[in-house]
């Protein structure tokens, strides 16, 4: 079996070459938001590119501040989401990483994760005259049967939209296989996280966060499953001999992509993040043995940020117990209003359960919003309060 | 007799407290922080030694805290301000359950339990609104010293509002009030209200164990106008220790002394 590292490198290279290759082969390109049902698009031979993921790459390449500054040339407010600012800035930035994303033939946006991305895509559509399709997901509730026909109708419209703009039909066999692969990738993704229930945890939070990419770029393909299978096998083979006497932490919310380790440099074997709940947002609920539209509706309507506040708090609370954490670090991410709303009620719940927590303020991608000393002081103080 | 020194290397001032084996303060010193934090701490340390009868050889431990704690090269250990303030505040007043510190660049609200252990804490947002820096900048705008703010605010006769609690915006609002001929006493009271509003916001975010007493630490606590205003906003009595600006340094010294005792017991 190939190593996880080599599979990941291949997925990464294929993804960033896919735009240029699609242009050569005459295949259509779509910009999609993070939780778009890409299985439908890929089963129609559409190459899917994720501008949010591109913003992550720019941020991780230390370009966020310059690219966000470049977005001011187009008069964008600096209060907007940093992913969108980086993306807007790429148009005015001389050498964006990987040369930027190629111009798409269509834009597909959803509101099941973020209330801003579909507005961002709307603006792109208006400015560059690119056809846009928006899928509206009502907030997830236990009674999915009420919203299912509404979402299904939109999926049918999406297929018609793609047919209209590409002359391509959906390959239902391919769709079925994609969905089965997506479910398998999610199962493996969850298994990878669950390795960290062990004491000591075999994976660092950085390793998990840096393994997220295939869940976007290659979900629905065998290569994503190959990657996670290889990584799990590798991690299971290594017995971590580190001390077991450590403080275990849950990092609630987004990582900080611009940091070398994606998290502040304040953790070690005795004080470690064993789970970042953000990465588990990609563990979508594909029902067993289903490869049809119902499976997609289930998966994409129950995304984390599309859930009710109570559900989200219950979920994080349960994770804190399942992973036996000693404390929770809540990242108040300036860019994500939806995620910000959870923090105060979550802290109240954790307090009732006697799980200490601390809030740190920053941003997922904008390095200029990170005050290293302030963040470190809060985390070090938290560590002391847990230790004494 | 052996002594322990606590150093609070804050963003505005360096505070030193020397305690004896009974946790009694035997000497203290405060100086404005210079560009070189370590040099400032040494200078303060030398002054403390020169002005007290304690022999340097009788000081058997130095604990540093505060924003510049890691720059203090001659200390034995460091702790964060949260721990130092909780220990210092709780030692001064054991019935305290909430400690508020308005520092030069950070404001903190710390909840402690009946044993003084930190159960939760919240710190100010990234901007300097709600910190000592806010008062420093705005008092300079008014042409008054920080020491005079408390006394002047008592002569206020109108309640004004500073609509923004951003330091830069507040400063421009102050300039605008001055241009309109508004009494500086009223502006100062509005400043105290603005800072109190920020602190109350933090106070309500912290998960306290009960409604025990509130202690205000930090040099800002010497401003009686602000203490009065904050007490009004909280609708609670706010205790101020005799030397509020030394609470962190005192806590650092106590912490080190206890740690050494625990080691001996082990």
At B154, list the tokens. Answer: 């008592």
| CB B9, CB B31: distance < 8 Å | no
Size of interface A-B (CB pairs under 8 A): 47
What sign for the dihedral angle of Cα A33, A39, A44, A48? positive
Point out the residue among A356, A361, A381 whose CB comes nearest to the CB of B125: A361
Fold of B1-93+243-266: Nucleotidyltransferase; domain 5 (3.30.420)
pLDDT band at B165 (very low <50, low <70, confident <90, very high): low
Q: Using CA atoms in the order A193, A194, A195, A198, what is the torsion angle rounded to 10 degrees?
A: 130
Chain B nearest-CA residue for A344: B205
pLDDT tens-digit map of A161-191: 999 999 999 999 999 999 999 999 999 999 9
Report the gap between the CA of A387 and the closest CA in chain B (Å): 10
Q: How far is CA A226 from CA A6, A92, A183, in A?
A: 11, 38, 13
A6 inside 8 A of chain B by CB: no
Yes or no, beta carbons of B117 and A371 under 8 Å apart: no
Mean pLDDT for the stretch of residues B47-73: 95
- Per-residue confidence at B1, pLDDT binned at 50, 70, 90? confident
Cβ–Cβ under 8 Å, residues B61 and B261: no
Which residues, including other chains, have CB under 8 Å from residue B236's CB and lie 6 or more apart? B214
Nearest-Cα distance to chain B for A319, in Å, is: 21
Neighboring chain B residues of A385 at a CB cutoff of 8 Å: 82-83, 117-119, 121
- Residue B213 three-state SS: strand
Contact A230, A2 (CB under 8 A): yes
Interface residue A358 vs chain B (CB under 8 A):
yes
Task: Identify the pLDDT of residue A31.
Answer: 98
Look at A195-204, A283-292, B28-37, B80-89 and tell me which has the smallest mean pLDDT.
A283-292
Least reliable range by pLDDT among A85-94, A138-147, A175-184, A329-338: A138-147
User: Is the complex ipTM more than 0.95?
Assistant: no
Nearest CA in chain B to A385: B118
Cβ pair B121:A359 closer than 8 A: no
The model's pLDDT over A219-265, given as tens digits with 9 standing for 90+, comes to 999 999 999 999 999 999 886 665 567 999 999 999 999 999 999 99
3-state secondary structure of B83: helix
Asked whether the predicted pLDDT for residue A352 surpasses 80, the reply is yes
- pLDDT surpassing 80 at residue B163: no
Instruction: Name every chain B residue with its beta carbon within 8 A of the beta carbon of A344.
Output: 205
- Nearest Cα of chain A lies from the Cα of B51 at a distance, in angstroms, of 33
Asked if pLDDT for residue A274 goes beyond 90, the answer is yes
Chain A interface mutation, best of B64, B112, B113, B123, highest count of A Cβ atoms under 10 Å = B123
- A13: its two tokens: 């290279």
Mean pLDDT, chain B, whole residue set: 92
pLDDT digits (tens, 9 = 90+) for A111-154: 998 888 999 999 999 999 999 999 999 987 766 778 899 999 99
User: What's the number of CA atoms in the CB half-sphere (13 Å) around residue B33?
Assistant: 20
Quick one: how far is CA A343 from the chain centroid? 19
Q: Which residue of B has its CA nearest to A388?
A: B117
Picking from A356, A371, A388, the nearest residue to B120 by CB comes out as: A356
pLDDT at A42 over 90: yes
pLDDT tens string B111-155: 999 999 999 999 987 666 678 888 888 888 888 998 899 999 999
Nearest-CA distance from A126 to chain B in Å? 36
- Within chain B, all domains assigned CATH 3.30.420.40 are found at 1-93+243-266, 94-240
**Which of A344, A356, A385 is the closest to B82 by Cβ?**
A385
Task: Name the residue in chain A with its Cα closest to that of B208.
Answer: A351
The CB-side HSE value for B185 (13 A sphere, CA atoms) comes to 8
Chain A residue with Cα closest to B258: A388
Decide if A381 and B67 are in contact by the 8 Å CB cutoff: no
Q: Which class in CATH covers the domain with range B94-240?
A: alpha beta
Please tell me which residue of chain A has the smallest CA distance to B125. Answer: A361
B135, containing H or E segment? helix B132-142
**Could you say which of A347, A361, A380 has the minimum Cβ distance to residue B126?**
A361
* Lookup result for tokens 């992973």: A323
Domains, chain A, with CATH or none? 17-171 (3.40.50.11890)
Whether A337 has a pLDDT exceeding 90, the answer reads: no
How far apart, in whole angstroms, are the C-alpha atoms of residue A130 and residue B248?
Answer: 60
Is any Cβ of chain B less than 8 angstroms from the Cβ of A79? no
Instruction: Tell if the CB–CB gap between A388 and B125 is shorter than 8 Å.
Output: no
């Amino acid at each position: 079996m190939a190593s996880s590292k080599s599979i990941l490198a291949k997925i990464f290279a294929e993804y960033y070459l896919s735009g240029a290759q699609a242009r050569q082969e005459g295949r259509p390109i779509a910009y999609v938001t993070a939780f778009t049902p890409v299985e439908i698009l890929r089963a129609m031979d559409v190459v899917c590119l994720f501008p949010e993921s591109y913003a992550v790459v720019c941020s991780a390449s230390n370009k966020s501040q310059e690219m966000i500054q470049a977005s001011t040339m187009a008069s964008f407010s600096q209060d907007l989401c940093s992913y969108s600012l980086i993306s807007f800035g790429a148009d005015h930035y001389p050498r964006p990483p990987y040369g930027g994303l190629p111009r798409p033939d269509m834009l597909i946006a959803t509101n099941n994760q973020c209330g801003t991305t579909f507005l961002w895509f709307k603006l792109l559509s208006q400015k560059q005259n690119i056809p846009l399709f928006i899928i509206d997901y009502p907030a997830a509730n236990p009674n999915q049967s009420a919203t299912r026909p509404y979402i299904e109708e939109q999926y049918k419209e999406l297929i018609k939209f793609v047919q209209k703009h590409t002359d391509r039909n959906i390959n239902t066999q391919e769709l079925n296989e994609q969905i089965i692969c997506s479910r398998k990738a999610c199962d493996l993704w969850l298994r990878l996280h669950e390795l960290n229930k062990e004491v000591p945890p075999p994976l660092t939070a950085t390793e998990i966060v840096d393994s997220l990419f295939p869940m976007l770029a290659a979900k629905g393909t065998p290569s994503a499953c190959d990657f996670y299978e290889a990584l799990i096998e590798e991690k299971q083979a290594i017995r971590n001999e580190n001390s077991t006497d450590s403080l275990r932490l849950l990092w609630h919310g987004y990582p900080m992509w611009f940091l070398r380790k994606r998290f502040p440099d304040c953790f070690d074997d005795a004080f470690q993040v064993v789970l970042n709940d953000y990465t588990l947002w990609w563990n979508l609920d594909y029902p067993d043995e289903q490869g049809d539209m119902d499976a997609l509706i289930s998966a994409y309507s129950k995304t984390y940020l599309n859930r009710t506040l109570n559900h989200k708090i219950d979920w994080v609370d349960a994770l804190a117990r399942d992973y036996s954490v000693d404390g929770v670090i809540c990242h108040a991410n300036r860019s994500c209003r939806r995620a910000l709303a959870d923090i105060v009620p979550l802290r109240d719940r954790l307090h009732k359960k006697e799980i200490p927590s601390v809030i740190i303020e920053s941003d997922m991608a904008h390095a200029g919003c990170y005050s290293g000393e302030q963040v470190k002081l809060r985390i070090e103080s938290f560590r002391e309060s847990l230790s004494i | 007799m052996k002594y322990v020194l606590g150093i609070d290397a804050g963003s505005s001032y360096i505070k030193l407290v020397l305690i004896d084996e009974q946790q009694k303060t035997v000497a203290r010193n405060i100086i404005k922080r210079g560009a070189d934090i370590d040099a400032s701490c040494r200078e303060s340390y030398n002054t403390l030694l020169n002005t007290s009868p304690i022999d340097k050889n009788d000081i058997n431990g130095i604990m540093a805290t505060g924003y510049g704690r890691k720059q203090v090269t001659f200390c034995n250990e460091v702790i964060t301000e949260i721990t130092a303030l909780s220990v210092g505040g709780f030692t001064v007043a054991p019935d305290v359950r909430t400690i508020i510190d308005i520092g030069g660049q950070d404001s903190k609200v710390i909840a402690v339990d009946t044993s003084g252990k930190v159960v939760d804490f919240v710190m100010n947002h990234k901007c300097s609104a709600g910190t000592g820096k806010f008062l420093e900048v705005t008092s300079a705008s008014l042409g008054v010293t920080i020491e005079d703010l408390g006394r002047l605010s008592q002569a206020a006769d109108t309640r004004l509002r500073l609509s923004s609690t951003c330091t830069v915006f507040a400063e421009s609002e102050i300039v605008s009030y001055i241009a309109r001929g508004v009494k500086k006493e009223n502006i100062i009271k509005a400043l105290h209200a603005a800072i109190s509003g920020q602190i109350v916001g933090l106070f309500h975010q912290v998960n306290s164990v009960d409604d025990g007493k509130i202690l205000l630490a930090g040099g800002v606590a010497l401003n009686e106008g602000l203490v009065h205003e904050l007490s009004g906003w909280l609708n609670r009595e706010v205790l101020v220790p005799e030397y509020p600006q030394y609470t962190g340094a005192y806590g650092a010294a106590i912490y080190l002394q206890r740690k050494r005792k625990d080691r001996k017991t082990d």
